[in-house]
Structure 1
Amino acid sequence: MSRTASAARIQRISSDYFQTLSTRMKRMEHTTAVNEDTELLETYGLEELREGYFDAIFEPAKQTEENARMVVLKMREKAQEEANQVKSPIQLFLGMFVSTYDAIRTTILTKNGITVLKAFLAYFVGFLLCIIHPTARWLGPHCYFLPIATILHHPGRRTGSQIEITIQCIVGQALGMGIGALALYVSDSTTTARKGHGGLLAVAIIPTIAIASWMRACYIRLYHGFLSMGIALLALTDIDVSSHFHWRSAWDFGIPYLFGMLLPVIINLLIFPSIGQADMVNCMADALSCCRDCVHKMMASEPGVGKKAQDALNAQSLALSDIHRNMCNEIMLTTFSKDNVRIVRNLIQTVIGHIRIVELPCEIFSVSINTAKEDAEEDYFNQHQHHAIPDMAPKIFELFQEGARNLVLSIMEALTLAEEFIKNIRHPPEDISLKIQKAMADLQHKMNHLDAQYTKLIVDQQEFNISRRAAINALFVQRLSHCGHAVFNLLHHLHIMSLETPHWRLSLPRYPWKRALTWSNAQSLHDRGGKTAGHYFRVKAEVEEIFHRTFNMNTSRHVVRDGEKNQKQQMCVNAVDHSDFDAKHGDISSARYKLWKVLHRLQGFESRFAVKTTIAVTLLSLPGWLNDHDWYQHYDAFWAPILVLISLHPRAGGNAHDLIVRTVVAVIGAVFGALAAGILQDHKASPYIMGVFCAIFMIPCVYRFTVSNHPRSGLMGCLSFTIVALGIYTDKLQGPKRWRDANPVTGTWTRALGVLIGLWSAILISWILWPFVARTESRVFTADMLGHISQCYQIVADRYLYHDLDDDPTTLAIELSQIREARMRQGFQAYRELILSTRHEPSLRGDFPIQTYLALFQSCEHVFNRIVEARISSVYFRIYEFDETKETTAHLLSYRRDAIAATIMVMFIIADCYRSRRPVPRYLPSSKMARKRLFQTIASLETIMLDESDDESHVQDHEKDAQKMASLLAGSRKVGEQPVFQNPFGKTDDPGVPGEKSADQKVSSPLAGPIHGDSVTERKRKFWTIIHESAFATAFTDISEELEKIVGFSKSALGEET
């Protein structure tokens, strides 16, 4: 065989595998100046290998950073223009009209309307009971606690939660009144005790309020119970502050408040009871509808639909997790069994996960096959004039365009059928089982057709020339097929459910009690206020928890038990000693450790909230505990400490905007209450007029409290209106028996002032002591998110890419990755909400670059999505699998290390800059240049191996030569993202070492040997190995390029070191 023929054969085989690397090299060269790269990458033949260090490449700021700063500048200019726009009064009026119309329409057409209706009905019935003379006299002078209790514990939530809250409140009220009664009894027991009446009350109230506040902040689920306990204690001890206590006061508070807690349960059970079935069905149906819409967008022609689809899928994924958690955490009556809810939730989540990684829209549905063929041939022959292996992209378009479109339509039809079954789960149609079977058969037929097309592609294609365009479209078809399999599994389980007879089941809470106490239903979390801050801290703790679990669990396959080490494990060189994960460092059962743990816990936010609440309540209650201060009782000043107790939030205290809005709403509520009580009607209050004023004012306030994003201001309006209106009304109703001044004007402004003092005290003490500053937390959370992203990158590189010998990712490792990614997405949602909340904070120390942080958020989210894609692709190959010799692996080791370490180092440096609020260094290790140096080194090794094989080809057999060259090319082509086979260090000269192969043994590489000589199954595996390796390489390259934008955004936000 001639040398020319051999060289031509080698050249043809090499083209199968070299195209991917060539595409990457061109892409890197396109983004970086060639002359500068040559100088930066020149090592002058020197290489330094230091244990624990890496060789970084530093380059000056490039155009990417400048472009990032320009993006931020344009965003700022746009925001400034919008802020400086002066709207005419007509535009303002139209804007208010449109927003009001949208709010009313949304409320009527959604379940929000039922929430507002139930909450208002409970309040209105309680209000009517207080203005009807017989019931008002029976309830006592403090009957207004009845409608106040209906507002605080309103029935606009699920029935199971309402029953649980009522039980909590009754127990809390009993405890509060018991402690208060004991304190009053002791303070009134002797003459000496009466002299220190206020001091004895303080001794009982201060520790009780501190403990109740700590428990209320720590265990969110018990919020209503401890709130009722605090209100009962303050009401019993502060309403009647005289040294001669009348026990009738216990009735005057206890009975109205008790009926105020029972009334919401009755309304909840009688008016549109929500037993959990409807919420679960609607959530699952909405998720399936969103999946169907996103699948339909795969065939869309307009760009930009991918980001919207991703956001919608993420929202539905979080909603599914919440509804499943609620079922495990509440009392529900549903036709779903516990196992079915869990399985269906997981199957829908799987469908969402497969759709989420698909790039939308895809070119395969819009490209013309003839045009694609012409473009591919022209591009390829311009670059490879001496040999012609056509690009596979036109062939992929030809074979899969119609089949992929049919599969998309079948998936949409299957999702529609699944949504129909879920919506009609109580009374499913008779033929639903047959429909599901038919849809499953159709879906299976379409997937089998795609598989047949795969086989045809592999059989017809003798050599692989996979361009980036071909890889993207082939990957899309495979992910679409995986999506079809996920939908098929969902239909299979729904078909099993359709054969069962639906019946009602009582679902009791079964959540682990430690987590159940720190979680509450969505409505209760909304009513507490500070939803953004609470969500941020909760998600932050969950993200930290999963990373702590990840780094402290052994996910390796190398589980070495004592006395069971085999020879293979002894010879295996592991990157991490996994036995360290199970080691116990220190005695956690010692008294010193337990004492430290208790003291450390007492330094948390719960203790800070308890201190703030205790100080505020004590200072506002102090005048009532002193002797000769009858004005405290005369003007109902006890409302100030009660309002502080209600208004304070463990996390968010409120900003200047909140202070102004709540004050205005409280003043308006007091004015409406005074008008309703007949302050302008010659002191004659009419129950009918009060009812009309109540409906006019309270419906908007109840909506603002229960539905809108500003619940605390709505609550202040409800409380202010109730306190003033019913306070004046009961003054007149009691007549001369009351010791209070019956002047309505005095009663109005004194009660309104008490409400405002309580409101202001709550916000001011939150500003003074441990304030929550969204801008500071945004910087801290940015540092945390960058650190977590770098850890995700590190885990993918360590556990999935450069893993140990025979230590492929285990099921536990994959499950932890999926949990980590789900919580990271929750973290991104909380991060965005936190950044947007900074808009209402005053700029006392300079403007906060909110546009910069939003741009940084988008870049971080993009990097994270690419890390997820890389992790998914990494399970299809092993990086060392094709390294022919130990020298090749050793030579590439430092370059692979530098490419990974540079990315991690830059993220950690930037994260530390945000955490310490210092400027970003001017020069940072260049991840992109380290990656390009890796590409160039691999290309050089391929060239050397080609030349050496070409020189020896005249003494080699044709087929052996081809096999060896294919193996060499495939092995040295690695660009930092593929697998070596069983041995990460290639072959060895010592045949006695277990697990390693001698030099004369053939390596069973998935890409070794001629393509036409393998079976169809083997060729399919080779094909998808190339595709996923290319996808992995592209993802890591995109991360390196996006990292430069993150550096530019960070320098814009924090500044640059000079």
Structure 2
Amino acid sequence: MPSADGPGTESIAMVDFAKTRSGTANVPAPPQETTGLRRRFSIRRAWTHHREQTINDRNRLGSARPNVESDELYRQRRRSSAVDMEMVAELLEKDHLDTDTHGISEIRDGWFDAVYLKQRPLDYQRLMRHAESTLPAAFAKDPPLSLQHFLPKQRRQLRSVFFKVMTTRSGVRLFKASLAFFIAYCLCLVPQVREWLGRYNYIMVVSVIINHPARPMGPQLDGTILTILGTISGLAWGVIGLILSYSTVDARTGYGAILALFFSIFIACAAYIRAYWTRFYQFSISAGIAMCYSCLAEVNGEQVRYIKFWSYGIPWILGQAISLVVNLAFLPDAGSRALAETLHEAFLIMQDALEIPRPRNVLLRRSLARVFVAVGVAYRDLRLDVSFTRYNPVEVRELRNLIQGVIRSILLLKTETRLFERWDLPEAGIVPVTVTAFETIATDVDGSTEASSGDTKTMPEDDEDALLRLVALKLAAPTEDMLLHMRSVIRSCDAALMDMSGYRSALGPPKDEAYDVDQAKNLLRKAIDDFDQADQELQLSGVLPDTLRIKEVSNVLVFAHHIRGAAGSIDTLGVHVSDMKQSAGRPKFYLPTYSLHKAINYANAQIRRDRGGVSASNVKMTFDDITTLIEAIQSKEHRPAPRSRKSSISGATTPPERSPTTMEAEEMPKPESKHSKFGYQIWRILHRLQGFESKYALKVCMLTALLAIPAWLEKSRSWWNLEESWWAVVMAWVMVHPRIGGNMQDLLMRALCVTLGAVWAGVAYAARNGNPYFMAVFALIYMLPMLYRFTQSSHPRSGIAGCLSFSVISLALVTADEHQSAARMAATRGLAFLVGTVSAVMINWILWPFVSRHELRKALSSMLFFQSVLYRGVLSKYVYYEEQKQPTKQDIERSEMLEGRLREGFVRIRQLLIMTRHELRLRSPFDPLPYSALADACEKFFEHLIAVRQAALNYDPGYVRDNDAAAEKLLSYRRDAVACILSNLYILAGALKTDRKVPRYLPSAAVARKRLLDRMAEIEAEELAAQKMHVTSTGLHVSLASNGKWAQVYGFAFNESLTGCVAQLEELERYTKLIVGEQGFDDDFRDDDSDTSDKEEDERIPHHK
């Protein structure tokens, strides 16, 4: 019996996900569970089983088989495994290649054989150099927290803002927001209007700011309705609380407690709605402001002053009316401009991506992924609100799907190809060989064979350049022609869609360039026909007898067929755009058509910007969507089927049953008990209450209630009402964000804007003792940059803080009595705004803070787990499926939907990575390199899985399903190969989620794959021997079909992608260990005193957090 510790393996162990048990094959069992006698008996039984199996195999090989292949043609079917084995060998060191088990094997359900290899030396510098190349483009900019670059950065941003305002649509949006604000502000400066509106006339300006008109028509209508309804609900709840608190003598004694209770209940509910349903952001924010006003402003503990609700409600409605009129009357955006801009950008990036050949461009691929997501978001925004456009939302939905399909096909392309190289004529010294009809039999399209003993083909044998030249001469010209017309169709579609939107003059392409979609589409179809003809001629020519022995030739053929697939997608896109152009008439009104359960969870683009924290909110929304899709896949429990087993002791046999040869599992029936369903629903509700929405509601309730305590105390009531300190609670409510609180830079900027607004209001009033003309001029000077910062910059909360501070304080100074000191009023009110703003940031730092680097680590953990689910689904649905269970169109659509969400997840992860640049870290600067490299490796693993799925649709490995005996022999090896990858992904995902170290030794997926390939080669050799015997006895020769060669090409891509998954898994392991550390065997038993002595060993892999 050979030693279990063979060359290249430190140990071989049996691993079970559910429990630990010793095995009887492959490895020496643990001494505490297996004695020497039992071990010898187990080995003897394994050898007996192996000898009997060998005899049975020889008996089967001796029998005649129908429909066999010739020796030469059958070898072509094996070359995919041979080439793939070479790629696997590159992942293993020379002493790791011996995976012979000496005929001992065991098939056990729920187990897999794990091989642990000695780790290679870690080249830390090489890893970091590679990691630097994976960083997002934003890391090339100056550090945002650097004081040295602060002033130059501000100068560049000012120039950029000025250019955008003067030359783009940003100027129009700023004009509309400023005009609405200026109208409301000037009305409040008119004495008659101010007296009619009352003390709180500035609420009209606040209403304009909250629902500013710098947004499309549909969102403006939606915001008007929601803010009015929110205001009504807040005032109504406040009235009920005031009435109950003043209803009886005892209630008046404890009115403060009653108001606090009513206030806390309402503000907690409004906060939960604000966090859970982003669609109702404007409703919740206006309801919270109204509630603060009702329960905190002019509260005297004696009677309800109903006039104050008039003083709030009427100005609010007037402010909404001003915003709505300005939005509709001045250069209205009917709702399609954002979609047109996104489509134009997508078409430009697709044109750039089709400039082939070129080196692999990571930034361009990331741009494709970004517009892949942006097109879907733009379509969703179109359907969320009312629109007036020539774009039919139903047609736009199909357009979105087709554009994403084109992007998906472009991302499959490997742009570093040798197809378009200049190939010289063959040298005279090359000796041609003759390929007879026996070796290569041409096949017609219908599958009939044609062979003539006189037909011969000459070609240089096993010469890579010669084979590449043959392929290039046949396919390079039609492929290049296809690429040319593909770009032409994309340009024509871009021009047609921009003409439909009416923004071609503003966005492009230039109108003097004529693009005809139908003409470009016809030229593309002609190019596709030429390629198909050349492709067919190449298949039938018989010049590729040994194609798969050469990796470069297979890569070129796969690349050409991927171009053909992308051309088909673009042709379908051109047909749809042409139909849209022909059916487009006059612009029409389209009501919201998005499904209700989805519409309440999404907000339009301007609301997302006004709400702030766009990146953090998008991350949560995207990963929630992915989780929902993952949960929609029914969980399945594996039920092992009984096998025929022969006992080596008594010779008794069990009735033989068919063993499963696929990796499908039986679906467990769901419980039908109503009681269990009811209990599950209760559990879901209680579990949901543990989410961040409840934490946010509790946080907001605590913050606002603590700030509002002086309003309900007798001693502090007078100064509270006099100084209108309830604005501190309002600012805290407005500034506290459900997801992200802000960093030190945000705190300083918001405090600066609030302070500057108060000071500017005092200066404006003191300039001419409240002269309305001077006040209007000062307001215009100050509010222009603040409104731009609120409505269009990436820092809206500092902008809204400055807008509210100046508007409320300046108009309060105008409305106040003359005997009150303007400086004191500006200082006290400014202090109230500052306290509310700062407290909102501080509580987000203290209670459940949002830390980008922690969220990044958890997002990477989730993505690794999602990759495991996708890997399992691809293999079960597209590779190891049972007979008559081929993937359906619905399966493909669901897979593409999940892949689209995962692609969006990688975009969000890069946004999180960029956010880490804005966070201070006291211990040491945060190192983004291992995180970026881990995300890049995970994305490459994802791309390999997509390539596996695409190749599996064209490649049908017959030995997996058609031959039950071969499939049975491969089952345990396939199990080991799949389980090794899944176990590694689970371990790495768990380590990242819990921030625990990764075990030093993990199951080697490369060895498991090599063992699978070795076993496949053995089985194919056995079948080849049987076929040679049958050919010798009968003289029968059966050729592979002509399209079998292209099946081999796709098989090469299939195997190469699976091997790429194994390679990327090693990268995932390396960078995960760099992030969370590495767990050794004796780490838990080391004394604290021995840490210094083991410092060199511990620092073998640096730890980055």
Which residue number in structure 2 is paired with residue 346 of structure 1? 401
Which residue number in structure 2 is paired with residue 285 of structure 1?
A: 344
Q: Deviations over 1:876-922 (max 9, x none)?
A: 12223478865433333222222221111111111111122111111
Matched, 1:668 2:756: yes
Within the alignment, does 1:605 sit opposite 2:692 as a pair?
A: yes
Find the counterpart in structure 1 of residue 1068 from structure 2. 1046
Letter in 2 for 1:1054: V
What letter matches 2:265 in structure 1? Answer: P
Structure-2 separation of matches of 1:578 and 1:10: 37
For residue 752 of structure 1, give the secondary structure of its aligned residue in structure 2: helix
Secondary structure of 1:55's match?
strand
1:837 aligns with 2:911: no
Verify the 8 A CA contact 1:536 1:827 in the aligned structure 2.
Answer: yes
Aligned to 1:405: 480
C-alpha displacement at 1:361, in angstroms?
4.4
Q: Deviations over 1:331-356 (max 9, x none)?
A: 11122223322222222222222222
* Residue type at the aligned position of 2:563: L
- In structure 2, relative to structure 1, the CA distance for the partners of 1:434 and 1:112 (3 Å cut) is closer
More divergent stretch after superposition (426-435 vs 346-355): 426-435
2:778 alignment counterpart = 693
Measured after TM superposition, the shift of residue 1055 of structure 1 is 0.9
State the shift of 1:539 in Å: 0.9
Confirm or deny that 1:1010 pairs with 2:1014: no
Contact 1:12/1:387, CA 8 A, preserved across alignment: no
Q: Conserved in 1, the CA contact under 8 Å of 2:710 and 2:720?
A: yes
In the alignment, structure 1 residue 816 sits paired with structure 2 residue 900: no
Is the Cα–Cα contact under 8 Å of residues 87 and 1056 in structure 2 kept in the other structure?
no
Aligned residues: 957
Q: Please tell me whether the aligned partners of residues 390 and 584 of structure 2 are also in contact (alpha carbons under 8 angstroms).
A: no
Match among 700, 708, 714 for residue 793 of structure 2: 708
Could you tell me how far apart the structure 1 residues matched to 2:367 and 2:690 are? Answer: 39
Q: Report if aligned partners of 1:917, 1:1054 keep a CA contact under 8 Å in 2.
A: yes
Question: CA deviation digits over 1:928-963, x for unaligned, max 9?
Answer: 12222223333344455556666x4894344x2xx4
What CA RMSD, in Å, does the superposition of the two structures yield over aligned residues? 3.5
Residues 588, 869 of structure 1: alpha-carbon distance in 2 compared, 3 angstrom cutoff:
farther
Between the aligned partners of 1:335 and 1:420, the Cα distance in structure 2 is: 15
Query: Does structure 2 conserve the Cα–Cα contact (< 8 Å) formed by 1:390 and 1:465?
Result: no
Match of 2:703 among 600, 609, 616: 616
Contact kept in structure 1, 2:343 and 2:375, CA below 8 Å: yes
Are 1:471 and 2:554 an aligned pair? Answer: yes
| Matched ranges for 1:231-380 at <5 A | 231-242=289-300, 243-295=302-354, 297-300=355-358, 303-305=359-361, 307-365=362-420, 367-370=421-424
Whole-Å separation in 1 of the counterparts to 2:728 and 2:485: 63
Q: Work out which of the residue numbers 392, 396, 406 in structure 1 matches 2:471.
A: 396
In 1, Cα distance between equivalents of 2:433 and 2:937: 32
> Please, which of 742, 761, 767 is the counterpart of residue 845 of structure 2?
767
Q: 1:36 to 1:376 in 2, by over 3 A?
A: farther
Measure, in 2, the Cα distance between the counterparts of 1:797 and 1:699: 58
Q: Give the partner amino acid of 1:837.
A: M
1:99 equivalent in structure 2: 157
Instruction: Say whether 1:935 aligns with 2:990.
Output: no
Q: Distance in 2 between matches of 1:647 and 1:420?
A: 43
TM-score, normalised by the number of residues in structure 2: 0.81
Q: How far apart are 1:11 and its partner, in Å?
A: 6.5
Structure 2 counterpart of 1:1035? 1057
* CA distance in structure 2 between the aligned counterparts of 1:266 and 1:82, rounded to whole angstroms: 42
SS of match in other structure, 1:1049: helix
Structure 1 residues 887, 180: CA separation in 2 closer, same or farther (over 3 Å shift)?
Answer: closer
Deviates more, 1:764-773 or 1:392-401: 764-773
Distance in 1 between the 2:886 and 2:195 partners? Answer: 77
Distance 1:178 1:575, change over 3 A: same
Check the 8 A contact 2:269/2:697 in 1, yes or no: yes
* Correspondent of 1:491 among 559, 562, 574: 574
Q: Distance in 2 between matches of 1:917 and 1:426?
A: 50
8 A contact 1:635–1:750 mirrored in 2: yes
Could you give the per-residue CA deviations for residues 293-315 of structure 1, whole angstroms, max 9, x where no partner exists? 222x2244xx232x233222222
- Residue pairs, 1:748-897, within 5 angstroms: 748-844=826-922, 848-881=926-959, 886-897=964-975
Three-state SS of the structure 2 residue aligned to 1:764 is helix
Moved more, 751-760 or 9-18: 9-18
The 2-side partners of 1:456 and 1:646 are apart by: 69
Instruction: Kindly indicate whether the alpha-carbon contact (under 8 Å) linking 2:661 and 2:964 is maintained by their aligned counterparts in 1.
Output: no
Q: 2-side partners of 1:693 and 1:440: how far apart?
A: 58
CA distance change for structure 1 residues 619 and 455 in 2, over 3 Å: closer, same or farther?
same
Which residue is equivalent to 1:996?
Answer: none
Any unmatched runs of 5+ in structure 2?
Answer: 1-68, 436-458, 505-510, 638-656, 1081-1105
User: Which of 519, 527, 536 in structure 2 is aligned with 1:446?
Assistant: 527
1:228 match: 286
- SS at 2:116 equivalent: coil
Match of residue 644 from structure 1: 732
The residue identity in structure 2 corresponding to 1:331 is V
Separation of aligned partners in 2, 1:810 and 1:578: 18
**How many Å separate the matches in 2 of 1:376 and 1:617?**
87
> Which region of structure 1 is more displaced relative to structure 2, 513-522 or 462-471?
462-471
- CA apart distance, 1:240: 0.6
Deviation readout 1:711-759 (Å, 9 max, x if unpaired): 111211212222332222322xx436xxxxx212211221111011111
Equivalence for 1:903: 981
Structure 1 unaligned blocks of 5 or more: 1-8, 555-569, 737-741, 964-1008, 1012-1017
SS at match of 2:850: coil
* CA–CA separation in structure 2 for the residues paired with 1:899 and 1:59: 15
- What code does the residue aligned with 2:686 have? L
Match of 1:991 in 2: none
Report what 1:519 is aligned to. Answer: 602
Cα distance change of structure 1 residues 1040 and 68 upon mapping to structure 2, 3 Å threshold: farther
Q: Which residue does the alignment assign to 1:21? A: 81
Relative distance call for 1:601 and 1:933 in structure 2 (3 A) is: closer
Aligned match of 1:632: 720
Partner of 2:28: none
CA separation in 1, counterparts of 2:432 and 2:788? 65
By how many angstroms is 1:200 displaced?
A: 3.3
- Partners of 1:264 and 1:572 in 2: how far apart? 72
- Structure 1 residues 691 and 516 mapped into 2: Cα distance closer, same or farther (>3 Å)? same
Separation (CA, whole Å) in 1 of partners of 2:1064 and 2:431: 32
- The CA distance in 2 between the partners of 1:929 and 1:884, in whole Å, is 26
* 2:375 partner amino acid: L
**Corresponding position of 1:437:** 518
Partner of 1:719: 804
Relative distance call for 1:371 and 1:545 in structure 2 (3 A) is farther
Contact 1:15 1:465 in 2 (8 A): no
Change (3 A) 1:379 1:328: farther
What is the TM-score normalised by the length of structure 1? 0.84
- Residues of 2 paired with 1:444 and 1:173: CA distance? 59
Query: In the aligned structure 1, how far is the partner of 2:110 from the partner of 2:952?
Result: 25
State the percentage of identical aligned residues. Answer: 27
Shift of 1:685: 2.5
Return the offset for 1:216. 2.3
Q: Which residue of 2 aligns with 1:46?
A: 104
| Map of 2:586 onto structure 1 | 503
Which residue pairs with 2:115 in the alignment? 57
* 1:262–1:588 distance in 2 versus 1, CA, 3 Å: farther
Determine if contact 1:292/1:415 at 8 Å carries over to the other structure.
Answer: yes
> By how many angstroms is 1:431 displaced?
14
